[in-house]
Amino acid sequence: MLTSREEGHNPYSSAHNLDGELGMVARTFIPQGGVILVEHPVIVVPADMEVDASVVGLDEAGSQSELYGALFSRLDSQMRKEVLALKDCSASPNAFTTRGIFNTNALDVRLEVDNRRKFQAKVQEQKYKALFLKTSRCNHSCGPNAVWRFDRLSFTLTLSAVRAIHPGEEITISYINPFLPRHTRRTQLQSEWNFVCHCTHCDAPWTFPSAISQSDKARYELSTFFKKLPDWEQWCFDENNEQFMIERHLRAMQMREKEGLEGFQDGTGSEIVAYMKHIDALVMCYGALADVQGFTKWVRKAREVKLAEGPDNALHVKVLDLWLKEPRKFYVWGWKRL
Ligand SMILES: [Zn+2]
């Protein structure tokens, strides 16, 4: 971290990382689940086609860069300046194009299609590419400490921490499906973003070659964890295997911590972050076992994350408080002891 600007109340600032790349760095402690930023997109275009010339008043012959240039020109001057300062990974720093900037930084989002298209094409939603000014500053890691999700109704992106982030630490997201093996991840990042990934997860294995295959195996196992997980009720009414379900979740959580994959369920862009699913499952298991100590520990953890996520969870926190006070009020309390 060399320089920083954008002080104020934000928990992050724009700064250079150890590789000299401009990125986003935490200014204050951000707890697991904590919201880093919320923002609207500045440009949104359908993902399956380049910008339609007629939309921006150009004839068909207009080059794609001109089309993006026309879209960029509609932004107010401050915003345009910030957009033009973003990286174009397909060109050298002085030869960027607006199209290159857009394609380097835009994120895939899904929006509901209009009623006519719903009827004609029988599709409910369509993929778009959206450019977000602040989130665009996040660099990639194969074990990122933040995830973003886009809410169609409020048309906003929320970036939040999937594990505690300390001041001075770089805030990262994953540009690709992080469950892919190291070789595939690096190839994809190289071909689409023109860089060789040197994140801690890609570089660390060099000191211990079999760690590469171990990491690839762990990532694959995590990507199918919830699909392969036995049914909770079946576990609950099985007289044996008391600790089985708990051990599965604890092991997966450990693997996620090691691989930096707390924020991803299975690589399909699911909305629910994985660590919360494990925490909820552990609350259920210890509750069913009527184990006050285990139950209290994981309800406290759930409460901590829900509080960090923001004021929308007030009701949820109240319910957790009630369970902490009176575990027997938990809706499946002691079920496995019946
Ligand atoms: Zn990597």
- Tell me the per-residue pLDDT of 226-276, one tens digit each, with 9 for 90 and over: 999 999 999 998 888 889 999 999 999 999 999 999 999 887 766 678 999
Residue type, 216: D
Query: How remote is the CA of residue 330 from the centroid of ligand 1, in Å?
Result: 42
Query: How remote is the CA of residue 65 from the centroid of ligand 1, in Å?
Result: 30
Residue ranges in the chain whose pLDDT is less than 50: 1-6, 61
Q: Which residues contact 330 (CB under 8 A, 6 or more apart)?
A: 283, 287, 295, 323
> What is the structure's pLDDT at 5?
46
Residue with tokens 């609950």: 236
Query: How remote is the CA of residue 218 from the centroid of ligand 1, in Å?
Result: 15
Query: How remote is the CA of residue 59 from the centroid of ligand 1, in Å?
Result: 42
Q: Which residues of 37-53 are buried (b: 16+ CB within 10 A; e: fewer)?
A: beeebbbbbeeeeebeb
Ion ligand 1 nearby residues (CB, 5 A): 142, 197, 199, 202
SS3 for 166? coil
Query: How remote is the CA of residue 176 from the centroid of ligand 1, in Å?
Result: 10
Backbone angles phi, psi at 151, to 5 degrees: -105, 115
> What is the structure's pLDDT at 61?
45
Beta bridge partners of 161: 146
- Chain length of the chain: 338
List, edge to edge, every strand of the sheet that includes 12-16. 4-5, 12-16, 22-26, 170-173, 139-140
> What is the structure's pLDDT at 3?
39
Note the pLDDT tens digit of each residue in 152-194.
Answer: 889 999 999 999 999 999 999 999 999 999 999 999 999 999 9
Residue with tokens 């829900």: 306
Q: Which residues contact 50 (CB under 8 A, 6 or more apart)?
A: 64, 67
> What is the structure's pLDDT at 300?
98
pTM above 0.85, yes or no: yes
Residue whose C-alpha is closest to residue 70's, from 79, 62, 82: 62
Contact predicate 64/51, CB 8 Å: yes
Query: How remote is the CA of residue 121 from the centroid of ligand 1, in Å?
Result: 38
